[in-house]
Each structure stands twice: as structure tokens, then as C-alpha cells.
Amino acid sequence: MTGATFEEIAIVGIGLIGSSLARAAKETGAASKVSLYDRSEAVRDTASSLGLGDVSDSLAETCRSADCVLLCVPVGAIEETMRDIAPHLKPGAIMTDVGSVKESALNAMQAHCPAHVHLIPGHPIAGTEKSGPKAGFASLFRGAWHILTPIPQQDEAYNGAVDRLAAFWERLGARVEIMDAARHDRVLAITSHLPHLIAYNIVSTAYDMESVGEGEVVKYSAGGFRDFTRIAASDPTMWRDVFLNNKDAVLETLGRFSEDLAALQRAIRWGDGDMLMREFERARGIRKAIIEAGQDTDETNFGRNAPDKKD
């Protein structure tokens, strides 16, 4: 594809997602100009040294001439940031975000977004446990889903803006899906939010047991536990905000999980091997479906290098 999707984009928040966006937009030519802002002077300095784009110490200056503004801040900071940005958005600009909770993000942005701006919340289902501008990479969104949750029943100009934003993300390599905000939050509660909550809890439990095991929890940690620690290494601020802003869906999912966990606990207590086999076989089926959908590979040892295999 030739020609930029947007003449200028503004990225507010230069962490993993924001810095990856800047790199991907430049590499693919999806934006002719990339302007960036972060409230942290140290982060701005790092972004400048990395050559991520035109870094400014003024939020207003960053957003004033942008065709599309992307909020890459924690969910809990969206409303305050939107309020500060709103007076500086030009007519016809697209306002979007990358938060992993959509109903609260929509409400927070809608409360301050000017009528002359197209508000289209979004969420790239991509990331790593790393954070900060140095953690980003241009291929982060390649092959990943990007969910847009536009406001329903809008005019032709708004629908055109949705198409343009979708084209931008597709240019970065993402697969775009349109979804209702409430449905998004229910789906992500089970596929992302609950797994993170469980990971934090398991690692916390292991931490409490460490004194009992005299270092053995860490020393003999198997692959499953190491995967949980990787997930639990994710940005605490981001995940605190996710749970507080998607609490209804998370609590509903957590209640169902607790019931199913209690059933497994009973099966183990009473030696019900048949029940355990049924549940374990069903879980294997879901793993197979994820691989067949292209969401993961079936590499031996989950893609980890064997001890005698060089990187």
C-alpha cells in the first residue's frame, strides 16, 4: 500500500504499546508524522533518544494538528487525560485508546470528547510483560486482533472514520474486529483479566510459602510456575486499573471459576479420577482449538529452548 493512512498521529503515553505504535506506524508508513507525549520527562527523553518520533513536552502541542490521537495510558488515567486533550483536538480528528476495558473507557472519554471529534475506543490484544519505551517493537501488532468498539448508530462521517481507523490498524498488521463494548469486557474478563488475576495470586501464594520451602519454590520452579511469574511481571498500575474498571465482569467470571475450582477440589478429595479426566480432556481440546486458530503454536515445551539447545 502506498500513501499514509493518516498524515499525522499523536500518541499519548510512550510505554510498551505507545512506543510499539510509533515504531510500527513509521515502519509501515501508516502515518507521515508521529507526535508523542508522556507526562514523565524521563520517558520523553528516552523516546527522543530512541528516535520514536517528534516528542514534545506539551500535550496541547502534540495533539493540536493530529488526524488521529491514540491514548496509550492506564485505564484509570483515561478520563483525566481526555479532559486535558479535549480543548486541543481539531474538527474531524479521530480519538481512540488502547485500554483493555472498554465500557469505562468509552464513558470516560465520552464525558469530555468534543462533538466535532470522532470517538472510537479500541483495544489491541497484544503485549508482553515488559513496559516502557525501550520495550516496544514494530511487529507487536502483526497477526494480533485489534477490537474496535464504536458508538452505535452514528452518521456516515463517523462510520467512515471507523473504516479509516480499521485500515490504520490493518496497515500495522492487525486483524480488526468490531464489537460491542460490554461484550468486549465480558470476553476479555475470561481470556485475559482472570488469567492475570490467577497468576498474581499463585505467585503471591508461592511468595508466602518461600520461607517454608527454604528457597525451594524458586529453585525448583517448573515451566508452569515460570509462566505464571512471567504474566505476574506485567505492569501493576495497568492491571490494578483493569480490575477496578471491569470489576462486574471480572467478579462474575471469578465466581464461576471458583465454583469450578471447588468441583475439582472435591474430585481430588474423593478420588474421582473420572471427573478429573473429563475436565483435563476438555481443557486439552481448548488448547488444540487455540493452536488450530493460529493463536499459538504446538512447539515442544511451549516453544522454550531445551537446556541443551542454543538460543
Q: In this predicted model, what pLDDT tens digit does every residue of 250-307 receive, in sequence order?
A: 999 999 999 999 999 999 999 999 999 998 888 888 777 777 777 666 665 555 554 4
Q: Which residues are within 8 A (CB) of 103 and not within 5 positions of it... i.e. 6 or more apart?
A: 181, 182, 184, 185, 246
pLDDT tens by residue, 207-260:
777 655 556 666 666 667 777 887 888 888 888 999 999 999 999 999 999 999
Residue 167 lies inside a defined structural domain of this protein: yes
Cell 471507523 belongs to 162
Q: Which residues are within 8 A (CB) of 278 and not within 5 positions of it... i.e. 6 or more apart?
A: none
Sign of CA dihedral 43, 28, 175, 110: positive
Please tell me the distance from the alpha carbon of residue 249 to that of residue 60, in angstroms, as a whole number. 35
Q: How many CB atoms lie within 10 A of CB 222?
A: 7
Residue in 122, 178, 174, 177 with CA at minimum distance from that of residue 143: 174
For residues 101 and 12, membership in a common domain is answered with yes
Sign of CA dihedral 255, 256, 258, 262: positive
**Helix %, strand %, coil % of the chain (to 5):** 55, 10, 35
For residues 35 and 135, membership in a common domain is answered with yes
For residues 51 and 175, membership in a common domain is answered with yes
Residue 290 lies inside a defined structural domain of this protein: no
Residue 140 lies inside a defined structural domain of this protein: yes
Cell 478520563 belongs to 79
Out of 179, 201, 221, pick the residue that ends a domain: 179
Residue 24 lies inside a defined structural domain of this protein: yes
For residues 109 and 83, membership in a common domain is answered with yes
For residues 22 and 146, membership in a common domain is answered with yes
Q: What is the total count of domains within the chain?
A: 2
Residue 62 lies inside a defined structural domain of this protein: yes
Out of 127, 157, 179, pick the residue that ends a domain: 179
pLDDT tens by residue, 33-50:
999 999 999 999 999 999
Taking CA atoms, 296 is separated from 288, 300, 302, in Å, by 9, 12, 9
Residue 200 lies inside a defined structural domain of this protein: yes
For residues 188 and 237, membership in a common domain is answered with yes
Residue in 128, 108, 126, 160 with CA at minimum distance from that of residue 230: 128
User: What's residue 212's pLDDT?
Assistant: 53
Out of 179, 210, 233, pick the residue that ends a domain: 179
For residues 29 and 98, membership in a common domain is answered with yes
Domain of 48, CATH number, reads: 3.40.50.720
Q: Is a pLDDT exceeding 80 seen at residue 59?
A: yes
Specify whether the backbone of 303 is left (phi greater than 0), alpha (psi in -120 to 50) or beta: left
Q: How high does pLDDT run on average in the chain?
A: 88
For residues 158 and 264, membership in a common domain is answered with no
Cell 468509552 belongs to 106
For residues 145 and 195, membership in a common domain is answered with no
pLDDT tens by residue, 116-138:
999 999 999 998 878 899 999 99
Please tell me the distance from the alpha carbon of residue 152 to that of residue 158, in angstroms, as a whole number. 10
Domain around 113: 6-179
For residue 32, the 8-state DSSP code is: E
Which residues of the chain form beta strands (DSSP E)?
6-12, 31-37, 54-55, 68-71, 94-97, 118-119, 122-124, 145-148, 175-178
For residues 162 and 36, membership in a common domain is answered with yes
Please tell me the distance from the alpha carbon of residue 8 to that of residue 31, in angstroms, as a whole number. 6
Taking CA atoms, 17 is separated from 25, 66, 71, 110, 129, in Å, by 12, 18, 10, 22, 11
Residue 306 lies inside a defined structural domain of this protein: no
For residue 88, the 8-state DSSP code is: G
Residue 211 lies inside a defined structural domain of this protein: yes
Domain of 256, CATH number, reads: 1.10.3660.10
For residues 153 and 170, membership in a common domain is answered with yes
Please tell me the distance from the alpha carbon of residue 225 to that of residue 245, in angstroms, as a whole number. 28
For residues 202 and 98, membership in a common domain is answered with no
pLDDT tens by residue, 65-75:
999 999 999 99
